[in-house]
C-alpha cells in the first residue's frame, strides 16, 4: 500500500518542477522579441517563397512570430540587414560574397555594384537554387549560343544579382553581355514580363518560380539550355565563383520540357552580427525541428536538409549562436573553424 506521505511528497515535487519549468519557459520567452522579419526578393520569386515558408515554420513553433517582407531586390534590403533593421534575409551565396567582401576587395566581371555589408552573418546554408534562361515555348532558340545578337534582358539595377546570373549563364556558351542586345529591366520579374510582352527574346529566372508559371500560363515559356559540357561548366566557374552547372530532368518543373542544363548555387538564410543569440537559436531550432513541414510549402525545400546547414564551403561567416547550435548537433568540424576564421578576418 502506498505511503500517503510519500505520495504527497511526490506530488509536491512534481508541482515544483512544473512551476520551475514554466518559470524557465517564461523567462526564456521574455528574451525573444514578439516578432522578427525576413527580407526577400519580390512576391513571385523563389526567395519570397522560401522566406514565407521559413516564416510560417518559425511562427508555428512559437513563441516568436516571423513575417516575410519583400523588397524590389537584394541591393535594397541588404543595407537594412547590415544595420539590423531587418533580422534575417534570404540571399544567394554569390551575392552574399560580393556584399560581405565589398567592392574594394572583390569584383566579378570587372565590377561589384553590391552595397558593402560587413555585418552579415550566416544562419543556415539552405538548398541549392537552380537558375535558367527563359524564352517563349515556340522560340526557335535551341541553346544559349542562340542568344548571340538577340534581345536579352539585362542591367537589373534593383536586383543586381540577376546581372550576375545572366553573365554566368551566357558565359557557359562563350557569350558575353557585349554579344547581345540588352533590353534594360529593373528587376527579375520585369525581365519575364518583357518576354511575355515580346520586348525581349531571352530572360532569366529561378526554376519553379511563380513568375515563370504565370508567364507559362499567359504565353507558354520554356528554359533555354546552357552548356553543361566540362568546358561550359569551367567557363561558368571562372566567370562567377560560386556558380556551377547541372542538368535537370524533363518535367522537373515548369518550363523544363526536356533534359535542360541550368545554373546552380546555394541559398543562404542570413542575419546580422548584432542579432541576439536567443533569436538565432530560437529560429534555428524552429526550422531544425520542423524541416519535414517545409517541402509541402515549396519544391525548393526538398533539399533544405540538416546536413547542408553547416559547411566550410560558404562565403559569409556564421553567427556565433549558429556555430554553437551546429556544434551541439555534432555538425561543426575543424575545416569549418578554419573557414570561419578566414571569413571573419575579411572584416575585422
Structure confidence by residue, pLDDT tens digits, 117-170? 999 999 999 999 899 999 999 999 999 999 999 999 999 988 778 899 999 999
Of the candidates 261, 131, 239, the one whose C-alpha atom is nearest the C-alpha of residue 175 is 239
Phi/psi for 241 (5° steps) reads -55, 130
- The stretch 56-68 carries a mean pLDDT of 94
If one counts every other C-beta atom within 10 angstroms of the C-beta of residue 102, the result is 16
- The stretch 304-324 carries a mean pLDDT of 96
The H or E element containing residue 111 is none
**Residue 130 · residue 161 · CB < 8 Å:** no
**Coil, strand or helix at 172:** helix
**Residue 158 · residue 76 · CB < 8 Å:** yes
Pairing of strands 260-272, 244-248: antiparallel
Structure confidence by residue, pLDDT tens digits, 209-226? 989 999 999 999 999 999
Residue 16: CB partners within 8 Å, gap ≥ 6? none
Rounded CA gap, 114 and 102, in Å? 7
- The stretch 236-257 carries a mean pLDDT of 93
**Residue 93 · residue 270 · CB < 8 Å:** no
Environment class of 142 (CB within 10 Å of its CB; exposed 0-12, middle 13-18, buried 19+):
exposed
For residue 11, the model assigns a pLDDT of 44
Confidence band for 87, pLDDT divided at 50, 70 and 90: very high
For residue 24, the model assigns a pLDDT of 34
Rounded CA gap, 49 and 208, in Å? 10
Environment class of 338 (CB within 10 Å of its CB; exposed 0-12, middle 13-18, buried 19+):
exposed
Rounded CA gap, 300 and 289, in Å? 18
138, HSE (Cβ side, Cα atoms, 13 Å): 4
Integer CA distances (angstroms), 180 to 28, 152, 154, 167, in order: 57, 6, 10, 11
**Residue 283 · residue 58 · CB < 8 Å:** yes
The mean pLDDT of the chain is 90
For residue 10, the model assigns a pLDDT of 41
Residue 189: CB partners within 8 Å, gap ≥ 6? 42, 44, 45, 205, 211
For residue 3, the model assigns a pLDDT of 52
**Coil, strand or helix at 79:** helix
- The stretch 313-342 carries a mean pLDDT of 97
The percentage of the chain sitting over the pLDDT mark of 90, rounded to a whole number, equals 79
Rounded CA gap, 120 and 258, in Å? 39
Integer CA distances (angstroms), 137 to 133, 218, 224, 251, 257, in order: 12, 11, 9, 14, 9
Of the candidates 50, 55, 29, 118, the one whose C-alpha atom is nearest the C-alpha of residue 81 is 118
The mean-pLDDT minimum among 33-37, 206-210, 281-285 falls in 206-210
Burial 180-194 (b: 16+ CB within 10 A, else e): beebebebbbbbbbb
Phi/psi for 205 (5° steps) reads -165, 165
pLDDT > 60? residue 241: yes
137, HSE (Cβ side, Cα atoms, 13 Å): 14
Amino acid at each position: 500500500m502506498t505511503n500517503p506521505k510519500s505520495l504527497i511528497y511526490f506530488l509536491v515535487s512534481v508541482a515544483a518542477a512544473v512551476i520551475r519549468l514554466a518559470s524557465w519557459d517564461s523567462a526564456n520567452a521574455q528574451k525573444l522579441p514578439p516578432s522578427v522579419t525576413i527580407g526577400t526578393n519580390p512576391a513571385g520569386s523563389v526567395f519570397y517563397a522560401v522566406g514565407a515558408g521559413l516564416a510560417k515554420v518559425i511562427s508555428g513553433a512559437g513563441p516568436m512570430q516571423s513575417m516575410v517582407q519583400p523588397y524590389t531586390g537584394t541591393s535594397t534590403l541588404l543595407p537594412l540587414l547590415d544595420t539590423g533593421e531587418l533580422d534575417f534575409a534570404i540571399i544567394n551565396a554569390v551575392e552574399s560574397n560580393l556584399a560581405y567582401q565589398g567592392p574594394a576587395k572583390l569584383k566579378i566581371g570587372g565590377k561589384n555594384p553590391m552595397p558593402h555589408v560587413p555585418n552579415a552573418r550566416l544562419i543556415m546554408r539552405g538548398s541549392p537554387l537552380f537558375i535558367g534562361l527563359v524564352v517563349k515555348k515556340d522560340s526557335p532558340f535551341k541553346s544559349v549560343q542562340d542568344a548571340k545578337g538577340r534581345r536579352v534582358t539585362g542591367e537589373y539595377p534593383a536586383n543586381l544579382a540577376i546581372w550576375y546570373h545572366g553573365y554566368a549563364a551566357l558565359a557557359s556558351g562563350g557569350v558575353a553581355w557585349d554579344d547581345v542586345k540588352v533590353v534594360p529591366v529593373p528587376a527579375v520579374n520585369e525581365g519575364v514580363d518583357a518576354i511575355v510582352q515580346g520586348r525581349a527574346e531571352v530572360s532569366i529566372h529561378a526554376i519553379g518560380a511563380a513568375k515563370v508559371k504565370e508567364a507559362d500560363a499567359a504565353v507558354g515559356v520554356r528554359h533555354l539550355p546552357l552548356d553543361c559540357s566540362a568546358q561550359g561548366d569551367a567557363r561558368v566557374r571562372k566567370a562567377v565563383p560560386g556558380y556551377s552547372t547541372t542538368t535537370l530532368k524533363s518535367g522537373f518543373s515548369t518550363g523544363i520540357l526536356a533534359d535542360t542544363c541550368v545554373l546552380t548555387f546555394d541559398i543562404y538564410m542570413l542575419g546580422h552580427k548584432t542579432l541576439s543569440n536567443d533569436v538565432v537559436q530560437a529560429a534555428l531550432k524552429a526550422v531544425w525541428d520542423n524541416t519535414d513541414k517545409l517541402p509541402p510549402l515549396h519544391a525548393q525545400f526538398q533539399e533544405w536538409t540538416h546536413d547542408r546547414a553547416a559547411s566550410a564551403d560558404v562565403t559569409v561567416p556564421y553567427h556565433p549562436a549558429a556555430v554553437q547550435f551546429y556544434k551541439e548537433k555534432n555538425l561543426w568540424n575543424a575545416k569549418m573553424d578554419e573557414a570561419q576564421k578566414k571569413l571573419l578576418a575579411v572584416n575585422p
